[in-house]
Chain A
């Protein structure tokens, strides 16, 4: 595969991106400073003069820092906010729901910021959380949700099918600015491991920029970088193998240290309560890093059946990505496939956890390993299937 050509093509391709088309000031590679003041958000909240200023580089993106005093003064006469009131953004996601459960179990009053949708997230209310409707891509809906909140936990990520910038960047900036202005005491942000090393992947770059923006904002914050969720593997590999469907994997040498989201949630709240960890950057990784092929082999062994594996070379993924970047109308697709750039490198998504465990006062043995997790899954599901089979046999007799 010709590697050089696509990367050259990539840069002009960006110009065709619908969002960049609006700000024609964006050239070359992205930097977090420039993107810090997204036009969409500023035009709705800030005065129009800032929007019109030519280069966003010079913009006082640190409008937040300017507001530091204002926020503090505003808060002084109000009633003190209880330290147990938290807002979870992205509460319906894989990680978000575990965060909500853990928080409720530890006695927090949990408010969930959820997008208005026809089928509401009932399970959150069933657990005892309060659900408020707001949309990060509509900044005017955010402030009301932050009233009476002590801590904001942000575990939101845009859905794959929507343009990556609206929620992950503009929405997050709006959220952080609101949090600052309203005197939120602590802001916890979930980022991606190694996001500073892969600016070519839009999502990772955005996460990295958000980290930076959060630091600049002066909010009391903790950033937690994550590697991968075990829960994701179930849908990706375990279920298809059990159903004898084809499993798609890559031959990428990338290793990811998957972690159980329940463990992440547990560690998160230990970190949240530890005042020594303020302004720190933590990385949570699982006990061992796995390649895709290893995960599939493990699933096959535990399920006791061979998988119908379709291995797609990473080069094809990369190629498709670069191809789709050529056209404006396929740019979203290109963004989606961007992770293939990381896959083709030998990156290891893992980090030694001994220090983190030490910092949090957690025993590393309590963190579940992927083998154990998948084994639990397969024993449970196979038992369930057996029960069902027995039941269906019985009904055969009756009918």
Chain B
């Protein structure tokens, strides 16, 4: 008893759901969808046995007994649906009744011209019988005629459907089914859970790869914005209609703010149309820079709006803007080894960390001792409840004369510093101000046997200068400087938040397949663009495909590699597929890789230590392939 009650409740709800879906789909199906769900209920209301024998006896006087089960079940479900029908017909009457009935009838005549003649005869008989049982308010000749016809149509449709080879459902039903099976429903092969809430900006949506990227995103249910330079009819026609078209130029930063607004991710597949240096510079180098900048600005704006609670906001470790901020930092010196013989020529070393009158925190000095170094160190004090394991690296805003330094992190249990382990990473700065991004993953243990760095345990940060391995600084002013002296202006040190996924996918190139004359130029611009993306602080994925081929994707195994060992081409569709897969793949974050078809010859195959896999229906070939690649290259 209870089960039947619940199932009835479900059925009534299911009726409403599908109604909602179908009515939202298109206005042209309005009549049929509003009426369509009445028919079956009236059908089961004991009407079936009335017409059935009469129909049979009309056509052929025989001993056939039709449809036994409909009769037996009818009294059970009889009352409730009857009520519903009446309500519905009433609500229909509120609309202009004459027009509606006519159109209804007309459409039905169109859909079944052959049956209409036979229907009318049977319908009359049926009408007479029905009149005996119906209330006064139901005896409306127009409504009755319509209902009896609907009833007959429904039965006839089902009956004839049995004898058909292909069953096509009616338009209204079809809409409801489509919504579930085809569009965004879970039954759809392409649908991706996180796609609905993600907006992707595609830059270069009309390029060979971009075109396919846009389609793939649409199929998976992403919201897509497309940046075009001119919204010509020709260009807009190439894009799916529900793509939001934004007019802008990557070379013009002022136009990009509108483009990045509301976007979660960016796929950059634009490239210069010519090998003219200016063009290359504008699109492949500055273009990437401009877009990353606009996107970061937008993210920062969001982070500010959420008052530092956004997942995008960085954690400030140190900000050097007053004398007080230098407290806790300690300048030290030391040597790696004691040089006995040369000690009398030792020029010594010196270092100081001070706040200058011009408002800069400067760490400067010199190291003339062989094997000597100076360092600046501080025990980090993190805000309550914050640990560095939610961050993936450090970003330092520094200025100076372009020396390279070593960052050293001490990690271990706070209570017992003797157990601390040291990890180092070398950073290089530029003359003038720059921001340096140091991912935690690039820190190596000082003792090789130590485990890799665990950001959770970091307690002390050290910046060390040593005269060894300093690169001569370019430029005329630097020539006079001794490489053993240094000056480092510190602005701030922040921890970068980890993102799960990549924010920016850049399609670059390997350079193979280009004409030798323009190769250098193109590569230079592309590499510069890649660098500006890596430095931007966004989670990035840089894809360098081999020479592009215009052929369908998914045909051949792919090779993912790092280093310049790519010899084969790849289809545009495969590159597009990698772009789309990388969007929601955590292993793709902060990676650059080359990709091409599998090299078929046996020789040299051992060069590729990486995964080759044929893309297939459900599998995700990207994750295993990328998980073995190095980050932050």
Instruction: Give chain A's interface residues, CB within 8 Å of chain B.
Output: 82-84, 94, 97-98, 101, 104-108, 118-119, 122-123, 125-128, 130, 157, 159-161, 192, 201, 203-204, 229, 231-232, 234-236, 239-240, 242-246, 248-250, 262, 266, 269, 273, 304-305, 308-312, 316-317, 319-321, 323, 329-330, 332-333, 336-340, 342-343, 366, 376-377, 380-382, 384-385, 388-389, 392
**Do residues B162 and A312 form an inter-chain contact, with CB atoms below 8 A?**
yes
Query: Which residues does chain A contribute within 8 Å of B44, judged by CB atoms?
Result: 245-246, 308
Binds A, one of B109-117, B254-262, B321-329: B109-117
Q: In the complex, what distance in Å separates the CA atom of A389 from the CA atom of B7?
A: 12
**Inter-subunit contact B573/A106 (CB<8 Å):** yes
**Minimum C-beta distance from A385 to chain B (A):** 5
Q: Which of B61-69, B134-142, B418-426, B502-510 contacts A (4 or more CB under 8 A)?
A: B61-69
Please judge, given known A-B contacts A236-B167, A250-B162, whether A308 and B73 are in contact too, CB under 8 Å.
yes
Partner of B163, one of A161, A343, A377: A343
Whether B11 sits at the interface, judged by CB under 8 Å, is yes
Whether a CB of chain A sits under 8 angstroms from the CB of B181 is yes
- A95-B18 Cα distance, complex, nearest whole Å: 22
A105 with B190: in contact, given A235-B177, A309-B69, A330-B114 (CB under 8 Å)? yes
Do the beta carbons of A392 and B67 come within 8 Å of each other? no
Which one of B28, B66, B112 contacts A312 once the chains associate, using CB atoms below 8 Å?
B66
Most chain A C-beta atoms within 10 Å of own C-beta, residue among B111, B118, B212:
B212
Contacts of A232 in B (CB 8 A): 166-167, 169
11 contacting pairs across A/B (C-beta < 8 A): A84-B552, A105-B190, A127-B219, A232-B169, A235-B177, A236-B169, A249-B162, A273-B555, A305-B7, A339-B163, A339-B164
Nearest first, the 4 A-B pairs at minimum CB distance are A107-B573, A128-B215, A337-B163, A340-B163
B550 in contact (CB, < 8 A): yes
Asked if A333 contacts B160 (CB within 8 A), the reply is: yes
B274: interface (CB < 8 Å): no
A239 to B173, CA, bound (A): 10
How long is the Cα–Cα vector from A101 to B221 in the complex, in angstroms? 12
Q: Which of A118, A269, A317 contacts B162 (CB 8 A)?
A: A317
B residues near A (Cβ < 8 Å) are 3, 7-11, 13-18, 26, 28-29, 40-41, 43-44, 59-60, 64, 66-67, 69-70, 73, 77, 111-115, 117-118, 158-169, 173-174, 177-178, 180-183, 185-187, 189-190, 211-212, 214-216, 218-219, 237, 239-242, 550-555, 571-574, 576, 616-618
Interchain CB contact under 8 A, A160 and B28: no
* Closest chain B CB from A166 CB (angstroms): 14
A104 to B554, CA, bound (A): 12
List the A side residues contacting B239 at CB < 8 Å: 128
For the complex with contacts A127-B215, A128-B239, A339-B165, 9 further pairs of A-B residues with Cβ separation under 8 Å are: A94-B168, A106-B554, A119-B29, A159-B168, A246-B69, A310-B67, A310-B70, A337-B164, A389-B13
Q: Which residues of A sit under 8 angstroms from B117, Cβ to Cβ?
A: 329
**A-B pair number, CB within 8 angstroms:** 205
Q: In the assembly, what is the distance between CA of A127 and CA of B212, in Å?
A: 11
In the assembled complex, the Cα of A83 lies from the Cα of B28 at a distance in Å of 38
The answer to whether B187 and A105 touch across the interface, beta carbons within 8 angstroms, is: no
Chain A residues near B616 (CB-CB < 8 A): 366
The answer to whether B165 and A83 have CB atoms under 8 Å apart is: no
A99 to chain B, nearest CB (A): 12
Return chain B residues, CB-CB under 8 Å to A125: 240-241
Cα distance A289–B560 in the bound complex, in angstroms: 42
Q: Given the complex, which residues of A lie within 8 Å of B186, measured CB to CB? A: 376, 380
Q: Given A235-B177, A337-B160, check contact A389 B9 (CB 8 Å).
A: yes
Asked whether B69 lies within 8 Å of A127 as measured between CB atoms, the reply is no
Contacts of A161 in B (CB 8 A): 111-113
A334 to B43 alpha-carbon distance, docked (Å): 24
Q: Which residues of B contact A382 (CB under 8 A)?
A: 10
Do A246 and B40 touch across chains, with their CB atoms under 8 A apart?
A: yes
- Tell which of B59, B67, B69, B552 touches A269, judged by Cβ atoms closer than 8 Å: B552
* Contact partners of A366 in chain B: CB under 8 A: 616-618
**With contact pairs A107-B212, A159-B168, A231-B181 given, residues A126 and B114 touching in the complex (Cβ less than 8 Å):** no
A248 to B576, alpha carbons, bound, how many Å?
46
Give the CA-CA distance A107 to B239 in the complex, in Å. Answer: 14
A392 and B9 alpha carbons, distance in the complex (Å): 12
Residues of A within 8 A of B554 (CB): 106
B168-A376 in contact (CB<8A): no
Contact of A381 among B59, B161, B180 (CB under 8 A): B180
Taking a contact as CB atoms closer than 8 A, the residue among A101, A248, A338, A385 that contacts B10 in the complex is A385
A250 partner residues in chain B, CB cutoff 8 A: 162
In the complex, what's the smallest C-beta–C-beta distance from B615 to chain A, in angstroms?
A: 10
The CA-CA distance from A320 to B112 in the complex, in Å, is 17
B551 near A84 with CB under 8 A, answer yes
Chain A nearest CB from B54 CB (Å) reads: 15
What A residues does B69 contact at CB under 8 A? 246, 308-311
Question: Do B240 and A385 have beta carbons less than 8 Å apart?
Answer: no
Find out whether the CB atom of A336 lies under 8 angstroms from the CB atom of B164. yes
Complex alpha-carbon distance, A156 and B178, angstroms: 18
**Which residues of A have CB within 8 Å of B553?**
106-107
Contact indicator B241/A122 (Cβ below 8 Å): yes
Question: How far is it, in angstroms, between the C-alpha of A295 and the C-alpha of B530 when the chains are bound?
Answer: 56
- In whole angstroms, what is the CA distance A236 to B158 when docked? 9
Known interface pairs A82-B550, A248-B159. Does A243 touch B40 (Cβ–Cβ under 8 Å)?
A: yes
Out of A323, A332, A380, name the residue touching B180 (CB < 8 Å): A380
Closest to A245 in B: B40
Instruction: Give the shortest distance, in Å, between B196 (CB) and chain A (any CB).
Output: 14
Inter-subunit contact A97/B182 (CB<8 Å): yes
**Are the CB atoms of B163 and A317 closer together than 8 Å?**
yes
Verify B185–A380 contact, CB threshold 8 A: yes
Residues of chain B with a CB closer than 8 A to A127's CB: 215, 218-219, 240
CA distance A108 to B181 in the complex (A): 23
Question: In the complex, how many angstroms separate the beta carbon of B181 from the nearest chain A beta carbon?
Answer: 6
A242-B14, A310-B67 given; A126·B240 CB < 8 A: yes
B8 close to A192 (CB less than 8 A): no
Determine if B551 and A83 form an interchain contact, defined as CB atoms under 8 angstroms apart.
yes
Least distance between B386 CB and chain A CB atoms (Å): 37
Q: Which chain B positions have C-beta within 8 A of A246? A: 40, 43-44, 69-70, 73, 158
Pairwise interchain contact B215-A104, C-beta atoms closer than 8 A: yes
Shortest Cβ distance from B39 into A: residue = A245
Give every chain B residue within 8 A of A123 (Cβ-Cβ): 178, 182-183
Q: For the complex, what is the distance from the CA of A323 to the CA of B211, rounded to whole Å? A: 55
CA distance A262 to B11 in the complex (A): 28
Task: Report the bound CA distance from A337 to B41 in whole Å.
Answer: 25
Chain A residues lying within 8 Å of B112, measured Cβ to Cβ, are: 161
In the complex formed, the residue of B with least CB distance to A315 is B64
The reply to whether A128 and B114 contact each other, CB–CB distance below 8 Å, is no
CA distance A338 to B160 in the complex (A): 10
Question: Of B114, B189, B242, B574, which contacts A262 at CB under 8 A?
Answer: B189
Complex Cα spacing A337 to B59, Å: 16
Among A128, A310, A338: residue with most chain B CB under 10 A: A128
Contacts of A204 in B (CB 8 A): 165
**Contact (Cβ within 8 A) B166 A157:** yes
Closest to B224 in A: A128
Residues of chain A contacted by B3 (CB below 8 angstroms): 305
- Rounded to whole angstroms, the CA-CA distance of A83 and B550 in the bound complex is 8
Contact A323 B60 (CB under 8 A): yes
A248–B162 touching, CB < 8 Å: yes
CB < 8 Å: which of B7, B40, B173, B242 contacts A126? B242
CA distance A249 to B185 in the complex (A): 28
Of all chain B residues, which has the CB nearest A95? B166
Chain A residue nearest to B20 in the complex (CB): A388
Contact in complex: A234, B111 (CB < 8 Å): no
Cα(A240)–Cα(B178), bound, Å: 16
CA distance A337 to B162 in the complex (A): 8
Choice from A108, A159, A201, A229 contacting B552 with Cβ under 8 Å: A108
Q: Is the CB of A107 within 8 A of B167?
A: no
Say whether B26 contacts A385, CB under 8 Å: no
Q: Which chain A positions have C-beta within 8 A of B9?
A: 389
